[in-house]
Amino acid sequence: MHLVQQADVSVDAPEQDERPTLAELAGALGLRERKKRARREALIEATHRLVERDGLDAVTVEAICEAAGVSVRTFFNYFDSKDDAVLGHTPWPLRTEAADEFAAGGPTGHLLADLEHLVAAVLDDPPMGRQSLARALELASREPRLLAKHLAWMEQHKGQLVELVERRLGDEPGHPPDVVAAFAMFLTHATFMRWDAAGGQGRAPDHVASVVRELRSLLTD
């Protein structure tokens, strides 16, 4: 009688793929970006509160960090200086899908209409909230050094716009690129001011068309 030892034929269940899905990665990135934006807003809000109470020169980065509950190192991850925190100056790049569409001649093929779309896209994702932006502009109007810094920041972004308009208009532009860029900057500012005057009702891009209509009326008067 022969004893046959049965072999262990059990098969381990296949390991599940533990790698995150694209949706999970997108969600994690979105959450991280929201946290960064919230921290930036907290720093801006703390800076505005202290500057309004104590004056610009009396406020220190350390005091801002204490009020916002972050470290000095964290502060400099978001802003280069106290003045930048007052103004909320952060990179606001135009290398976006809407900008690429504008440079390629879209979305309508008409320059003014496409500028409306571009400005709406820019205002749809501002570097900070409406109230913070309005307060920053108010504080800048009181302090010559802040105003000069803000104008320099605007000029830097105008340079980006000029490059974008040059891509759109090509080698033989029918309009001066710097004039078109300046108009886009004005349209952005005027639309924000209209939105702020309306108490922030709706979204900033919703006011672009009405500002353009008024400009058309003014120019044809």
**Cβ contacts of residue 215 below 8 Å, gap of 6+?**
187
Checking 55-60 for CB contacts under 8 A at 24+ apart, the result is 56/82, 56/86, 56/139, 56/143, 56/146
Domain architecture of the chain: domains with CATH: 26-89 (1.10.10.60), 91-221 (1.10.357.10)
At 9 the pLDDT is 46
Cβ atoms of 182 and 165 within 8 Å: the answer is no
Using CA atoms, how far apart are residues 79 and 207, in angstroms rounded to an integer?
30
Helix axis angle for 177-197 and 208-220, nearest 10°, is 120
Rounded CA-CA distance 207/45 in Å is: 26
What is the pLDDT, as a whole number, of residue 50? 96
Check residue 57 and give its pLDDT.
94
DSSP H helix total and E strand total for the chain: 10, 0
In order along its 221 residues, the chain shows pLDDT tens digits of 444 444 444 445 445 556 666 555 456 556 777 888 889 999 999 999 999 999 999 999 999 999 999 999 999 999 999 999 999 887 666 667 889 999 999 999 999 999 999 988 888 776 677 778 788 888 888 899 998 988 888 887 788 889 999 999 998 888 999 999 999 988 988 888 888 788 777 787 888 988 988 888 888 87
44 Cβ contact list (under 8 Å, min separation 6): 85, 86, 88, 128, 132, 136
So what's the pLDDT on residue 104? 94
* Model pLDDT, residue 4: 45
46 with 68: CB under 8 angstroms?
yes
Tell me if 99 sits within 8 A of 118, measured CB to CB: yes
pLDDT for residue 108: 95
Surface-to-core class of residue 191, CB atoms within 10 Å of its CB (0-12 exposed, 13-18 middle, 19+ buried)? buried
pTM of the complete model: 0.67
Write down the pLDDT at residue 95: 63
pLDDT of residue 1: 45
